[in-house]
Amino acid sequence: MSNNTCFHCGLDATASTITFDNKSFCCNGCKTVYEIFSVNDLTCYYDLQQAPGATPKDIEGKYNFLDNAKIVEQLLEFNNDDTQIVTLYIPHIHCSSCIWILENLNKLNPSISSSIVNFGKKNVRVTFNSESLTLKNLVALLSSIGYEPFISLDDYSVGKKHTDRSLIYKLGVAGFAFGNVMFLSFPEYFQVDGFWIEKYKPLFRWLMFFFSLPVVFYSAQDYFISAFKGLRSKILNIDVPIALGVLVLFVRSSTEIIFNVGSGFFDSLTGLIFFLLLGKFFQQKTYTFLSFERDYKSYFPIGITKITTEGTEESIQVYDIEKGDRLLIRNEELIPVDCILIKGTAHIDYSFVTGESKTVSKQSGDKLFAGGKQLDGSIEVDVLKSVEQSYLTQLWSNDVFKKDKASSFTNITNSISKRFTIAILLIALITTSFWLLTDASKALNVFTSVLIIACPCAIALSAPFTFGNILRILGKKKFYLKNASVIEQLSKINTIIFDKTGTITVNKKTTINYEGYEFSLDEETLLKSTLRGSNHPLSRSLYNILNKHDIVDLDTYKEFSGKGIEAQYKNRKIKIGSAPFVGHTSDTATLNTTVHVSTNNQYKGKFTFYNAYRKGISQLFNALKETYDLVILSGDNAGEKDNLTKLLPTKTKLLFNQKPEDKLEYIKYHQDEGAHVLMIGDGLNDAGALAQSHVGIVISENVNVFSPACDAILDASKFDQLFNYIKISKSAIKIIKWSFLLSFIYNSIGLYFAVTGQLAPVVAAILMPLSSISIVAFTTIATNIIGRKLE
pLDDT along the chain (791 residues), means of 10: 42 43 45 42 38 42 76 82 86 67 83 81 86 88 80 52 74 90 74 64 86 92 78 65 78 82 76 76 58 50 78 80 89 85 86 73 86 84 79 65 48 57 79 86 76 62 75 83 83 90 75 87 88 82 77 85 86 90 71 84 88 85 90 77 80 84 88 91 76 87 62 86 91 86 78 78 62 76 84 60
- Burial class (CB within 10 angstroms; exposed 0-12, middle 13-18, buried 19+) of 576: buried
Three-state DSSP at 419 gives: helix
DSSP states of 619-635: HHHHHHTTTSEEEEE-S
Three-state DSSP at 682 gives: coil
Q: In angstroms, how far is CA 437 from the centroid of its own chain? A: 51
Backbone angles phi, psi at 453, to 5 degrees: -65, -30
Could you tell me the end-to-end alpha-carbon distance of the chain, in angstroms, rounded to an integer? 57
**Which residues on adjacent β-strands are paired with residue 103?**
none
pTM metric for this prediction: 0.64
Query: What pLDDT is recorded for position 401?
Result: 55
**Which residues on adjacent β-strands are paired with residue 557?**
567
Q: Are 626 and 578 in contact (CB under 8 A)?
A: no
Q: Are 779 and 463 in contact (CB under 8 A)?
A: no
Neighbours of 584 (CB within 10 A): 18
3-state helix, strand, coil split of the chain in percent (to 5) is 45, 20, 35
Question: Each residue of 362-389: b (16+ CB within 10 Å) or e?
Answer: beeeeebbbbbbbbbbbbbbebeebbbb
Distance CA 333, CA 707 (A): 9
Q: In angstroms, how far is CA 209 from the centroid of its own chain? A: 45
